[in-house]
C-alpha cells in the first residue's frame, strides 16, 4: 500500500497554477528525489504534503497510521533561522512536540529519543552549544536529528545540502542513505543535484510545472527528461 498518494493535484499561488495534474505514489522504504528548475513547483509540493498549502484540485492522501504531524521535515534555512539562539539539545528536543499532544513538558521518553538521535548523528558533544554558533554542516545534522525525533515513517528534505562544501554534502547524503535503508524510513528530497539523485534515489519525480517524469531511477536515466536536464 502506498504511504503517500497524490492524485491529479494542481497547486496555485494567488490564482496562478504552480503545477498541474500531478499524480504519483510512493511506498514505505522508497527514496524519492524531486528534480526540476527553480519555479517548477518542488517546494510548493513539499508544502502540500505537509498540509501547509491545500491543492486547488486533486487530493494528497496518506496511508493508515500516518499523520501530517508525524512527518519529519528539514526545510531550507534562512539567515534568521541559522542565527536561532537556542541550545542544540533544545532544537533537537523540539522535534518531539507534535507527539506530546497537550502534555506541557518533556518526559523521559522524549529526552531519551533526543539523546538517541544526537548520538546517531554524532553530535552528542554539541548538546549544550548554541545552535547559531555551529557550522553549516553541524546545523544540518542538528535539524536532521530534530526531524528524526518527529517521525519513524516519512522524512522530507528541501535542498538539505545548499551552501555546504562537497565533503560535508557527501557525508550528509551518506547519513540519509543509512536512515533510508536501515530504518526503512521513506525519504522525499528536493534537489538540484541530479547526479547525486541518480546515485542514491530509488525513484525520481521531475517537475516542469507538470509531471515531466515519475518512475524508477533506473528508467529515468534513459529518459529524454534526464538527458535534457543533465545537459543544462
State the cell numbers at 214: 515519475
Backbone dihedral angles phi then psi of residue 165, each to the nearest 5 degrees? -75, 165
pLDDT, mean of residues 31-39: 90
Secondary structure class of 212 (helix, strand, coil)? strand
pLDDT, mean of residues 26-55: 91
Q: Which domains does the chain have, with CATH numbers?
A: 2-189 (3.40.50.300)
Distance of CA 65 to the CA centre of its chain: 19
pLDDT, mean of residues 52-70: 84
**Distances from the Cα of 210 to the Cαs of 20, 76, 118, 140, 214, in angstroms?**
5, 23, 39, 30, 11
Q: Specify whether the CB–CB gap between 106 and 100 falls below 8 A.
A: yes
Confidence of residue 65 (pLDDT cuts 50, 70, 90): low
What integer pLDDT is reported at residue 178 of this predicted model? 94
Share of the chain above pLDDT 90, in %: 55
Secondary structure class of 84 (helix, strand, coil)? coil
Distance of CA 192 to the CA centre of its chain: 14
β-pair partners for 130: 87
Confidence of residue 87 (pLDDT cuts 50, 70, 90): very high
pTM for the predicted model, two decimal places: 0.89
Identify the residue whose cell numbers are 538539505. Answer: 160
Cα–Cα distance, 123 to 121 (Å, whole number): 6
pLDDT, mean of residues 179-185: 92
Amino acid at each position: 500500500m502506498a504511504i503517500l498518494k497524490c492524485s491529479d493535484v494542481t497547486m496555485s499561488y494567488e490564482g496562478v497554477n504552480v503545477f498541474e495534474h500531478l499524480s504519483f505514489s510512493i511506498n514505505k522504504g522508497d527514496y524519492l528525489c524531486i528534480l526540476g528548475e527553480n519555479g517548477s513547483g518542488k517546494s510548493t509540493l513539499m508544502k502540500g504534503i505537509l498540509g501547509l498549502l491545500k491543492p486547488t484540485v486533486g487530493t494528497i492522501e496518506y496511508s493508515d497510521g500516518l499523520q501530517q504531524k508525524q512527518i519529519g521535515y528539514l526545510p531550507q534555512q534562512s539567515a534568521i533561522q541559522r542565527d536561532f539562539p537556542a541550545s542544540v539539545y533544545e532544537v533537537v528536543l523540539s522535534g518531539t512536540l507534535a507527539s506530546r499532544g497537550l502534555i506541557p513538558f518533556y518526559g523521559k521518553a522524549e529526552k531519551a529519543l533526543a539523546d538517541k538521535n544526537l548520538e546517531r548523528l554524532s553530535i552528542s558533544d554539541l548538546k549544550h552549544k548554541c545552535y547559531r554558533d555551529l557550522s553549516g554542516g553541524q546545523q544540518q545534522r542538528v535539524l536532521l536529528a530534530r526531524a528524526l525525533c518527529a517521525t519513524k515513517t516519512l522524512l522530507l528534505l528541501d535542498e538539505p545540502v545548499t551552501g555546504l562544501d562537497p565533503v560535508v554534502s557527501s557525508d550528509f547524503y551518506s547519513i540519509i542513505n543509512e536512515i533510508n535503508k536501515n530504518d526503512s524510513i521513506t525519504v522525499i528530497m528536493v534537489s538540484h543535484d541530479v547526479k547525486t539523485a541518480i546515485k542514491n534515489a530509488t525513484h525520481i519525480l521531475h517537475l516542469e510545472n507538470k509531471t515531466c517524469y515519475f518512475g524508477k531511477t533506473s528508467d529515468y536515466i534513459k529518459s529524454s527528461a534526464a538527458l535534457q536536464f543533465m545537459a543544462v
